[in-house]
Amino acid sequence: MNLETVLLGFLNEDSMTGYDLSKKMDVSVGFFWHATHPQIYTCLKKLVSQGYITFDHEVPEFGPAKKIYSITKTGKENLLQSIKDDIETEEIKFPMFVSMFNG
């Protein structure tokens, strides 16, 4: 299991900003996995370049513009394959937790 798969799992639930993804990671899988803000944003750029996620700009009345990330059909297919591969090869420490969360 890697950070890409975790982020795709979160985005499979709902569209979010990078900040929202970081907070969700802290409160959901944070007890057994931690990622820094730079790691998350680097991963998001990679996922966009691979076509697994897209983003829209949101410009609120007050405050800075935000990127709202969403998973693509290709991203959903990659997410399912990644989960299957990880469980089959037992590469993650807690396959049941992550699979149940992303399932």
Q: What is the pLDDT of residue 67?
A: 96
Number of domains in the chain: 1
What percentage of the chain carries pLDDT values higher than 70?
82
Contacts of 76 (CB under 8 A, 6+ apart): 8, 12
Whether the predicted pLDDT of 38 surpasses 90: yes
Q: Which domain holds residue 88?
A: 3-102
What crossing angle do the helices spanning 73-89 and 3-13 adopt, rounded to 10°?
130
Name the pTM for this structure.
Answer: 0.81
The Cα–Cα gap between 19 and 22 comes to: 5
Q: Is the alpha carbon torsion for 18, 21, 26, 30 positive or negative?
A: negative
Would the pLDDT of 21 be above 90?
A: yes
Round to the nearest angstrom and report the end-to-end CA distance of the chain.
14
Tell me the CATH number at 71. 1.10.10.10
